[in-house]
Amino acid sequence: MQLNLQRLAALMQKETIQILRDRRFIFLFLGLTFVQLFVYSYSASRTVYHMPLAVVDQSRDPTSAAFVRALVNSQYFNVKVYLSDESQAKDAIDKSEVKAALVIPPDFAASVDQGSANFLMLLDGSDQFAVQSGYSAVGLVAQDFGLQMSDQNLALGGGMSSTNSSLPITTSSQILYNPDMNDKWFVIPGIIGMILQTLAVEQAAIFLVRDREWGTMEQILATPVRQLELILSKLIPLSVLCLLTFGTSVALGIFWFGVPFHGNLFLYFWLALLFLASCLGLGLVISTRATTQFEAEASAMIFMLFGLLLTGLFYPRTGMPLLPQLIGDIAPLTYFLRISRDIYMKGVGLDFVWGDAVILALYTLIVIFISSKRFKMRLD
Amino acid sequence: MLRRTWAIAQKEFIQLTRLPLVMIGMTVGVALELVLFAVAVHNNVNHIPMVVADQSRTEASASYLNAFTDSANFDIVALVPDQTAVVRAIDSGQASVGLVIPADFATRVEQKDAHVLIVADGSDSFDAQSAYGSAASISQAYAVSLTNQQLSPLNAHIQILYNPDLVDLWFIVPGFGAFLLFGISLKLTAFAIVREREAGTIEALLVTPIRPIELMLGKMIPNLGVAIFNLILTFAFGILLFGVPFRGNLLLFSVLATIFATGSLGLGLAISSFAQSQVQANQLASLMNIAVMFVSGFMFPVYGLPILLRAFGYTMPMTFFLPIVNGIITKGVGLGDLWGPVLSLTALTVVLFYVGARLFRQNLD
């Protein structure tokens, strides 16, 4: 198949004019893309701070007050109400007034001194986020508080040195790449990929179906335009738009959200281009199946949901059953997500991400092969 | 008026049944979606790949490592010589967490002064948090067991109400059912009206004596029917298949779910007046649907949201329905405990419907 550059240029000009003329499209395309980036980035965090807490303090002594203060100081809890017994606390959780309730028994201070104090923490198990954050926070605070108390007691007794009171094994920890566990740092490199996938797959599918639906395919058929020229004339302006959006998203990630970019920007750009090609190819395959823009759009949207739930963007793929994992493999985002996070945060080079890069390249070849078999520049 | 509304409803219903594939997709497809995503989506990770640099190679270190493998939280995927190699294994994505046991581990344990290092992959998002947390607690539990004594004078008894074993599916299925119902309701109305506009038949309807309100209601009624059918199918499927306990009042739940579906249909009506074509309607509806996942408390907690996003969340029926779903299904509470979200949901439904109807009328003129 021969490619006539002059014809291609003319067709691309037509497509560009069509794109720029459609204000609503430009609004949906660019405006909503960035709205998405902001909405997702600002909301994607699972840790719950300042969750409302009910306190049932039956002890009412300085030790119990100190323990409540320690919980509040951890930033995870805010005391919302003081109640008198456990059943009231359960009621408060039933009513969703509070997410957690602390019950301190009457003899708290004395039993802390004896080294055998107990307290009860009730957590709202219908709220998974409150449970997860609350559970680990309570454990940590109690441990710290307990160690402090026993150190104090020992110091008062004067018997042993304080190092003996700590555990025989001390664990220090090092969290690589993201020492403060800032949620935005690992969410944004993924969201940028998801936005690019959504745009590219959806718009490629719609662009290619459009002429068929509008009936303008007939006119195009009457010209000497070849199939490849037709496809390229649509995909090239679209790619430019996608890359502009992508570049802006990356810039926003770095400068607005302050996500450090550790890798090689040049390499990242080339791999993003490969990812874009695989997405456009996927859109092309969808367009060969769809007869209307609506069908094309609806099928492409399914990939957005897959992208959110099955690619590892927000939910871990480790431990996911095989079938959802395989379905997630259909979305090119699964591979680019790893590349994006690795280059962005770990700052590794091609020697580390080559596996996913090869898969993306193969993926692109396969979708182009399938669509070249199926794409027919015909009316029916 | 009733007769005319009914006539439109009949027409709509016939049009709906003419698209059997769409109907199947919107009912059975949605139920299957629930199953697929419910089994896929989980937050706690087991069998996290772990790389170990055991420079001690003693019985003490071996038994310490056993504590990790016994927990089923970790799989040791590689043994490497030193910390650099551990970091390298994490760089390459071979492992998410690493453990460095120094050469003098055994002797230092006897002196009660051993140090180990846990290295976690901070780029691997939610995996890492889970991995790091459990590694630290396993290590600590092992250390405590060595001392053969009760170390802490303070024992935390943590009781998790409603879902004591933290079954992931119990968290996910009720919310997911609500989410899918929201998406379908939103799209049904948006399409019903935009389709008419796209086909040009809305002009034909306008010259008949049918009033806009009748047209609107006539379009809503069959859609509400589909939404309710969908609701029953999805929740019955999810609850029976996954054994999620339904603790509350089924009747109360059905009534509130119908209000929720109505509010979502009203939102769809509003979308229909912005969208010129079915493609645009679907785009707007899908984006709204996905944005709702983020701001309603379904995927992420609402407490941490910035004020603007929280405000946006309050315009979505899902934000108020979610506490209702969790309250009735998981907690088993009644109207007495839920009146807050119930009132908000009802008020929002009325507002959405009013706004939707106004926009719809303006659009007809």
Domains contained in chain A, CATH given: 5-44+182-374 (no CATH), 51-165 (3.40.1710.10)
Instruction: Say yes or no: B105 and B142 in one domain.
Output: yes
CA–CA dist B291, B312 (Å, integer)? 10
Is pLDDT larger for residue A45 or for residue A168? Answer: A45
| Closest by CA position to A143, among listed B141, B166, B178, B305 | B141
CB-side exposure of A307: number of CA atoms within 13 Å?
Answer: 24
Asked if the structure places residue B31 within a domain, the reply is yes
Name the nearest CA neighbour of B48 among B92, B98, B1.
B98
Helix (H) or strand (E) holding A287: helix A265-289
Q: Are strands B48-54 and B74-79 parallel, antiparallel or unpaired?
A: parallel
How big is the CA angle at A236 (ends A235 and A237), to the nearest 5 degrees? 95
More confident residue, A9 or A153: A9
What pLDDT is attached to residue A49? 84
- Asked whether this complex has an ipTM greater than 0.95, the answer is no
Of A181, A176, A185, the closest CA to residue B119 belongs to A176
Tens of pLDDT, residue by residue over A154-176, are 555 444 433 434 566 666 777 77
DSSP assignments along B257-279, one per residue = HHHHHHHHHHHHHHHHHH-SSHH
> pLDDT by residue (tens digit) across B158-217?
777 788 777 778 888 888 888 888 888 888 888 888 888 888 787 787 778 888 788 888
Which residues 267-326 of chain B have a CB within 8 Å of chain A?
A: 276-280, 282-284, 286-287, 290-291, 293-295, 299-301, 303-306, 309, 312, 323, 326
Examine the pLDDT at A357 and tell me if it is beyond 90: yes
- Residues B137, B233, single domain; the answer is no
Q: For residue B130, which residues of chain A lie inside 8 Å, CB to CB?
A: 316
What average pLDDT does range B136-153 have in this prediction? Answer: 70
Q: Is position B355 within any domain?
A: yes
- Note the pLDDT tens digit of each residue in A73-93: 988 899 999 999 889 998 888
Residue at a domain's end among B87, B118, B147: B147
Looking at residue A289, its amino acid is R
Average pLDDT over residues B67-96: 86
> Which of B122, B139, B157 minimises the CB distance to A121?
B157
Residues A107-129: b if buried by 16+ CB within 10 A, e if exposed: ebbebbeebebebbbbbbbbbbb
Is the predicted pLDDT of residue B149 greater than 60, yes or no? no
Encoded tokens for A313: 């963007």
**A251, pLDDT greater than 60:** yes
Instruction: Give the separation between CA A138 and CA B135, rounded to whole angstroms.
Output: 17
CB-CB neighbors (< 8 A) of B133 in chain A: 136
| Nearest CB partner across the interface for B160, out of A24, A115, A123 | A123
Q: Which of B196, B325, B336 is nearest to B261 (CA)?
A: B325
Contact state of A175 with B120 under an 8 Å Cβ cutoff: yes
Whether the CB of B109 is below 8 Å from some CB of chain A: the reply is yes
The contacts of residue B326 (CB under 8 Å, 6+ apart) are: A126, A127, B174, B175
From residue A275, alpha-carbon distances to A243, A252, A306, A357, B261 in Å are 11, 20, 16, 9, 38
The answer to whether the Cβ–Cβ distance between B116 and A94 falls below 8 Å is no
CA distances to A55, A61, A322 from A142, rounded to whole Å, are: 15, 17, 39
Are both B114 and B208 inside the same structural domain? no
The pLDDT tens digits of the residues spanning B260-305 come to 999 998 898 888 888 878 888 888 888 888 888 888 888 888 877 8
DSSP string of B131-142?
HHHHHHHHHHHH
Picking from A75-89, A274-288, A295-309, which range would have the lowest pLDDT averaged per residue? A295-309
Q: Which residues contact B216 (CB under 8 A, 6 or more apart)?
A: B269, B357, B360
Question: Which residues are CB-contacts of B335 (< 8 A; sequence separation ≥ 6)?
Answer: B252, B342
Q: Which of B121, B330, B333 sits opposite A176 (nearest CB)?
A: B121
Would you state the structure tokens that stand for residue A262, as one six-digit string?
A: 């550790």
**How high is the pLDDT of residue A166?**
57
pLDDT of residue A165: 46
Burial label for A91, CB within 10 Å (0-12, 13-18, 19+), is middle
pTM: 0.82
The CATH code of the domain that includes B122 is 3.40.1710.10
Query: Has residue B314 been placed in a domain?
Result: yes
C-beta separation of A185 from A260 below 8 A: yes
Judged by CB atoms closer than 8 Å, whether chains meet at A168 and B109 is answered as yes
B306: left (phi over 0), alpha (psi -120 to 50) or beta: beta
Same domain, B187 and B66: no
Cβ separation B290–A308 shorter than 8 A: yes
Q: Quick one: B207 exposed, middle or buried, by C-beta within 10 A (0-12, 13-18, 19+)?
A: exposed
HEC string of A213-277 equals HHCCHHHHHHCCCCHHHHHHHHHHHHHHHHHHHHHHHHHHHHHHCCCCCCCCHHHHHHHHHHHHH
Asked if residue B80 is part of any domain, the answer here is: yes
Identify the three-state secondary structure at position A77: strand
Q: Residue range A126-136: average pLDDT?
A: 82
Both B84 and B210 in one domain: the answer is no
Q: Is the pLDDT of residue A244 over 80?
A: yes
- By CB atoms closer than 10 A (0-12, 13-18, 19+), residue A307 is buried
Contacts of A119 (CB under 8 A, 6+ apart): A67, A102, A103, A104, A105, A108, A142, B154, B155, B156, B157
Are B275 and B189 part of one and the same domain?
Answer: yes
Number of separate domains in chain B: 2
Shortest CA gap A118–chain B (Å): 5
pLDDT of residue A159: 42
Mutate to test the interface with B, among A128, A154, A207, A326 (most CBs of B within 10 A): A128
Whether the pLDDT of residue B364 is over 90: the answer is no
Query: Does B240 lie in the same domain as B204?
Result: yes
Give the whole-number percent of chain A exceeding pLDDT 70: 92
pLDDT at position A161 is: 38
For Cα atoms A254, A259, A265, give the angle at the middle one, nearest 5 degrees.
55
Q: Is residue B152 part of a domain?
A: no
pLDDT higher for A267 or B20?
A: A267
Residue B31: C-alpha distances to residues B178, B239, B297 (Å): 12, 11, 22
Res A108 pLDDT > 70: yes
- Top-confidence residue, A330 or A143: A330
| 3-state secondary structure string across A84-111 | CCHHHHHHHHHCCCCCEEEEECCCHHHH
Report the interhelical angle of A265-289 vs A350-374 (nearest 10°): 20
3-state secondary structure of A175: strand
B135 and B275 together in one domain = no
Place of tokens 């240029």: A9
Look at residue A379 in the predicted model and tell me its pLDDT: 55
Mean confidence (pLDDT) of chain B: 83
- Do B228 and B318 lie in one domain? The reply is yes
Please say which residue of B115, B147, B179 terminates a domain. B147
Query: Domain for residue B158, yes or no?
Result: no
Name the helix (H) or strand (E) containing A308.
helix A293-310
Burial of B325 (0-12, 13-18, 19+ CB in 10 A): buried
Instruction: Name residue B76's beta-bridge partners.
Output: B50
Q: Is the per-residue pLDDT at A360 higher than 90?
A: yes
**Residue length, chain A?**
380
Best-predicted range by mean pLDDT among A48-57, A135-144, A221-230?
A48-57
Q: If DSSP codes are grouped into helix, strand and coil, which group holds residue B101? A: strand
How many whole angstroms from its chain centre is CA B153? 39
Q: pLDDT > 90: what percent of chain A?
A: 22
In a domain, residue B59? The reply is yes
Same domain, B123 and B176: no
Residue A117 token pair: 């104090």
End-of-domain residue from the set B89, B118, B147: B147
CB A279, CB A201: distance < 8 Å:
yes
Distance from the Cα of B313 to chain A's closest Cα (Å) equals: 11
In a domain, B106, yes or no: yes
Judged by average pLDDT, the poorest of A287-291, B36-40, B281-285 is: B36-40
A117 φ, ψ to 5°? -85, 145
How many angstroms separate the CA atoms of B249 and B338, rounded?
A: 12
CB B183 within 8 A of CB B289: yes
- Do B177 and B256 belong to one domain? yes
Domain membership of residue B282 as a residue range: 2-41+166-364
Q: Name the residue among B125, B156, B163 with its Cβ closest to that of A138.
A: B156
Q: What is the mean pLDDT of residues A9-23?
A: 83
Spatial CB neighbours of A31, under 8 Å, sequence gap ≥ 6: none
pLDDT of amino acid B365: 62
Shared domain for B111 and B255, answered yes or no, is no
Q: Within 10 Å of residue A48's Cβ, how many Cβ atoms? A: 24
Mutation pick from A27, A169, A289, A346 vs chain B, by most beta carbons of B within 10 Å, is A169
Least confident of A221-225, A264-268, B103-107, B239-243: A221-225
Pair of tokens at residue B126: 């939610």
CA B171 – CA B190 distance, rounded (Å): 30
Question: Quick one: pLDDT band at residue B351, thresholds 50, 70, 90?
Answer: very high
Higher-pLDDT residue of B28 and B325 is: B325
Query: Does residue B313 register a pLDDT over 50?
Result: yes
Query: Sheet containing B154-161: which strands, arranged edge to edge?
Result: A77-82, A51-57, A100-104, A117-124, B154-161
Q: What share of chain B is helix, strand, coil (3-state, %, to 5)?
A: 70, 10, 20
* Tokens linked to A125: 């198990």
Q: How large is the average pLDDT for residues A336-345?
A: 89
pLDDT at A112: 80
Subunit contact B96:A318, Cβ cutoff 8 A? yes
